[in-house]
Every structure is written in structure tokens, then in C-alpha cells.
Amino acid sequence: MNNPYYLTTPIYYVNAKPHLGHIYTTMLCDVMVQYQKLLGKDAMFLTGVDEHGDKIVKAAASASLSVQDYVDLISGEFQNVWKNLHIQNNDFIRTTEERHKKVVQNILQTLFDKGDIYLSQYEGYYCFGCERYLTEKEMDSEGKCPDHQIEPEIIKESNYFFKLQKYLPRWETMLKNNSNLIQPDQYYKEILGTIHELMKTGEDLSISRPVKRLQWGIPIPFDEQFVTYVWFDALVNYISALDYPDGEKFHTYWPQAHHMIAKDILKPHGIFWPAMLMAADIEIFQNLYVHGYWLGLNDLKMSKSMQNAFNPLDLIHSIGLDSFRYFLMKEMTFGSDSKFTDEALKNRLNQDLSNNLGNLIQRTLSMIKKYCNGNIPPKNPEMDYIIKPANLLSDASKNYHSCMQTFQFSKALDNILEIIDLLNKSIEEKKPWALAKTNDPELLPFLRLLMDGIGFCMHYMKPFLAEKFRLFTEITGLTVRENFPGKLQEILYNESLPENWEILFPRID
């Protein structure tokens, strides 16, 4: 296979149904995968669910279901949501699958045999929401977990530990030699700070739970009295889905692996996972990308544990999937937090899509219908000077691709919105209705340049507006020689428009 690209979401915890946070993360990845495919990459997209741990047992009991029936139910919910959202993942992994259990136990045994796992007693503050021990520094001023707003319990028990400290200096050196491994930069700096703190405390990683406290987990292969700690289990999904160690998919895709996570799980992915990979003699991922939170009431993170999440599917039914997808990708600056409000949604969609892009398309098609009897004017290279967007197009294309590669989708879209603004302003300046009255020879080439500019923008917005792109091509017959055209001369259309067409971007009220 040529040009492989491998992208993963975190595997989502099945103690509740999918919410906005899950959807945003997955849509980020889906947009990136569609973009990579348009570049000609062989893109592999993995998502899935984490089905082990204390919280799952408690959630199943609350639902009056067996644990297996419960995880089957919620796993199905996630898969149905991704199908309804047209998410194009290649694989969906569950941590209760045999293919996953086999790899987890393989790695555990390997690390135990080389002396990187040992039995010891530990006492600490355990957050059942995070399913891990917290340091005092990680708790807020009231001694609570900042993500779940609950006080951790003090637990003392024997467990198996992974020699995390053994690999921290090596990981720190790798990071200092390549600051792009973790992006954006604030999370790279946060991980370096966490590594420094961990090396001061000498803390290793607890990787098991005693069966007397938790039965629902992957058994430790060298001691039946313990099951695997949920994070050590869950992180392995990224390679178990590729049939590690001998699978063709592993050898093809893992060298080009990229992970997407939310910032609340930065420590496991930014410290535990690379240390585990080093211990198992597996090369490190290419990039770890970290996004912020969607904030709701009182600027609190939207999440199921905070009970302030809503069902985005209800909103999608009313405004359409493309509009919802566009809002999420444009409104949040990647890496930072953003507010999700009805007002922000309405303003963003009406300004960017209805007033700007939608109005440009509708006015241009209507003028061609009125002034050209619906016949799209032919190209006239001698009159390209009418708009002169060549430098802007070249710069916009270059900046767009630079932003897209690092998930800076909002900034990537800004480059295309700038061209849309230029085309709208050119209509007001050129006044094609006045040109029509005097049969000015600039009218037809001007309308054609508008169409070519629209076609250019629609191609660059395709990863975000796939359905609207399809509808526009049905109306106009838009085609290009390459998926991301570099010049207006590459834009091709049918000779004429249909009698009627659908308004692509109606206003949101």
C-alpha cells in the first residue's frame, strides 16, 4: 500500500451513551481522514470502546443488566451513532474482544519476563471516575478530582507495577529533541512538566486490580488473582486492532500512527503509553494531538459525569449534519476550550454559510439563469484580470494545507472564507446587473470567474461539507483535474444549469 496514514480516536468508555465530546473528537478524526484520502493517502481510521473497569460494573448494575449485556448495548449505541453521522472508520474495536485480550496478555507477559513488572503494595488517592490514583497536585483546592468533582478514596492494596521510571528519562529526551510529538504546544509543555514531577516522586504505574475487588477485566497472565488495570488494557487497542505483532496492518500503518485525544486523558497517552511502547520495543507514534473541552452552563466541561451534556443528534435533525459538522470544526480553535450555545451556533452558520457562501452561490447561479439563459459562460483567460485572485488562491491553498495537517481546521477554513469574501465584494464592486444593461463584454467572463472561484472554495471545503459539495456538483456538474485545485483554470462545469435547484445554505432561525 502507498502513502499509509493511521489515525485513532481514544476508545470511549461505555458507562453512558455517546455525547458531544465523543462526537467532536470523532468528527475531528473523520474530517482529517477524508482530507488525507483526498490527498491520495491510504488512510486507516480506528475508533472503538473501552469496556472494562469499576465504572462499567456500576453502570451495568444501575441499568439492572449483566455487565456483558450492558457493554453490548452501549457498544451498539456508539456504532449506530457513528453510522448515522456518516463517520467512515475502517475498524471499531472493543476491549472485550479476544483479538484485544490476546495482545494485552502478550505484552504483559513480555514485560514481566524482562523484569519491567513487579508486585508491590500501594496506598493513594483513587478516583473511580478517572480509574486511577491521583497525586495531591492533581486534585483541586478542596481535595477533589477537577474533572469529576468527587473526593478520591484512599485505597491501600497490593498490585503489580510497571517500571515507568525506567523509561521516563528516555521519553523526556525524545520529546526535547522533537517538540512536534505532542501538539498543540501547551500540552507538550504540560507533559514535560508532568515527567519532571513523576521523576521527583519516583512513582511507577499500577497496572492491576485484585480480583477480590474487581473481576471485570483481562486476567493478568502470570497471576490469576489480578486483572489488568483499565488504562494499561485500553491503550493497547491502538496496536491490537492492527493485529500486533505480526499482522500486515501493523507493519503497514503503525509507522504512520497519529492519536487524537481530549486533554483530560493527556497523562495516560502522553506518558504511560510511550513508556509502554518503549518497554515492548515498539516504535513511538508520530503525533499525539490534544483538543480542548466544549463548555456548557457556568463554563463547565460538557460530560456525562457532570450531567450537563445534551444529545447532539436532536440538533443535527433540525439543522443538518453538514452544518453541525462545520460549526464544531470552525467554532473551536484546536487545543483551546470553546462554548457551545444556541447563539454561537446560529451566528456562525448564518454568517459563514448562509450570508457568505450560500448567498454567493445563490446570487451567481441566479445571475447566470437571468443573464445567460442558464448557460454557464465559457472560460476566457484573456479576461482573468477582472478579479485577479491568483496570488490569493495560491497563498490560501498553501496556508490551508499547512493548517489541515495539524488539525487547525478553523484556521484552514479562514483561508477559504477570505476568498468567499473577495468574491462577494467583487459582485458589489463590479455590479453585473449594470453590466447586463449595457451588454458589457466583461459580464460573461466575470460570471465565469465567480463560478470558478466558488468551485475552488467548494473543493477545499469538501472535508467539512461533503453532502453540500455533492448537491452543488449535481446542480453544476463541477469537476476538477485534482481534488485540491491550484488554479481557476482547473475548474470545469456542465454547459448549463438545471431549471431549478435547492438552496444549499438556508438561514438558521
Structure confidence at residue 310 (pLDDT):
61
Residue 508 lies in a domain: no
Residue 164 lies in a domain: yes
- The last residue of one of the domains, among 310, 337, 370, is 310
Identify whether 29 is a catalytic site residue.
no
Residue 465 lies in a domain: yes
Distance CA 402, CA 315 (A): 32
What confidence tens digit (pLDDT) does each residue in 402-420 have? Answer: 999 999 999 999 999 999 9
Whether pLDDT at 74 is above 60: yes
Residue where the block lists cell 494499561: 232
Catalytic-labelled residue, pool 29, 145, 403, 457: 145
Whether pLDDT at 279 is above 80: yes
Q: Are residues 73 and 195 in the same domain?
A: yes
Structure confidence at residue 213 (pLDDT):
86
Q: Are residues 278 and 336 in the same domain?
A: no
Identify whether 148 is a catalytic site residue.
yes
Q: What is the domain extent for residue 24? A: 4-310
Structure confidence at residue 2 (pLDDT):
76
Structure confidence at residue 132 (pLDDT):
72
Q: Which of 54-58, 283-287, 467-471 has the lowest mean pLDDT?
A: 54-58
Q: Are residues 233 and 333 in the same domain?
A: no
Identify whether 317 is a catalytic site residue.
no
Identify whether 401 is a catalytic site residue.
no
- The last residue of one of the domains, among 276, 310, 344, is 310
Residue 506 lies in a domain: no
3-state secondary structure of 353: helix
Q: With cut-offs at 50, 70 and 90, classify the pLDDT of residue 385.
A: low
Q: Are residues 430 and 392 in the same domain?
A: yes
Identify whether 130 is a catalytic site residue.
yes
Residue 319 lies in a domain: no
Q: What does the mean pLDDT of the chain come to?
A: 93
Selected residue with higher pLDDT from 471 and 156: 471
Looking at residue 476, which CATH number applies to its domain?
1.10.730.10
Residue 320 lies in a domain: no
Residue 231 lies in a domain: yes
- What is the per-residue burial (b if ≥16 Cβ within 10 Å, else e) of 134-171? beeebbeeeeebebbeeebeeeeeebbbbbbbebbeeb
Q: With cut-offs at 50, 70 and 90, classify the pLDDT of residue 33.
A: very high
Mean pLDDT over 128-149 rounds to 83
Catalytic-labelled residue, pool 301, 330, 430, 468: 301
* Environment class of 113 (CB within 10 Å of its CB; exposed 0-12, middle 13-18, buried 19+): exposed
CA angle 420, 421, 427 (to 5 degrees): 95
Judge contact between 486 and 393, C-beta under 8 A: yes
Mean pLDDT over 213-231 rounds to 94
Selected residue with higher pLDDT from 201 and 300: 201
Instruction: Please count the structural domains in the chain.
Output: 2
Catalytic-labelled residue, pool 29, 52, 127, 259: 127
Identify whether 301 is a catalytic site residue.
yes
Identify whether 258 is a catalytic site residue.
no
Q: Are residues 169 and 302 in the same domain?
A: yes
Distance CA 461, CA 280 (A): 41
- The last residue of one of the domains, among 310, 336, 360, is 310
Q: Are residues 54 and 78 in the same domain?
A: yes
Q: Are residues 377 and 298 in the same domain?
A: no
Structure confidence at residue 15 (pLDDT):
86
Catalytic-labelled residue, pool 22, 52, 55, 259: 22
Q: With cut-offs at 50, 70 and 90, classify the pLDDT of residue 1.
A: very low
Whether pLDDT at 436 is above 90: yes
Structure confidence at residue 425 (pLDDT):
94
Q: Are residues 288 and 392 in the same domain?
A: no
Catalytic-labelled residue, pool 166, 304, 339, 487: 304
Looking at residue 170, which CATH number applies to its domain?
3.40.50.620
Whether pLDDT at 475 is above 90: yes
Distance CA 130, CA 347 (A): 36
Residue 257 lies in a domain: yes
Mean pLDDT over 217-223 rounds to 97
Judge contact between 277 and 181, C-beta under 8 A: no
Three-class DSSP labels, 167-226: HHHHHHHHHHHCHHHEECHHHHHHHHHHHHHHHHHCCCEECEEECCCCCCCCECCCCCCE
Query: How far is the first Cα of the chain from the last one, in angstroms, to the nearest whole number?
Result: 47
Selected residue with higher pLDDT from 383 and 348: 348
Mean pLDDT over 324-350 rounds to 94
Judge contact between 423 and 458, C-beta under 8 A: no
Q: Are residues 296 and 331 in the same domain?
A: no
Question: Do β-strands 205-206 and 208-210 pair in parallel, antiparallel, or remain unpaired?
Answer: unpaired
Mean pLDDT over 9-32 rounds to 94
Structure confidence at residue 302 (pLDDT):
55
Q: Could you tell me the pTM of the whole model?
A: 0.92
> In terms of DSSP H, where are the helices of 47-146?
54-62, 67-84, 98-113
Identify whether 379 is a catalytic site residue.
no
Q: Are residues 18 and 114 in the same domain?
A: yes
Q: Are residues 105 and 47 in the same domain?
A: yes
What confidence tens digit (pLDDT) does each residue in 167-207 have? Answer: 999 999 999 999 999 999 999 999 999 999 999 999 999 99
What confidence tens digit (pLDDT) does each residue in 487-500 have? Answer: 888 999 999 999 99
Catalytic-labelled residue, pool 17, 41, 148, 346: 148
Q: Are residues 293 and 363 in the same domain?
A: no
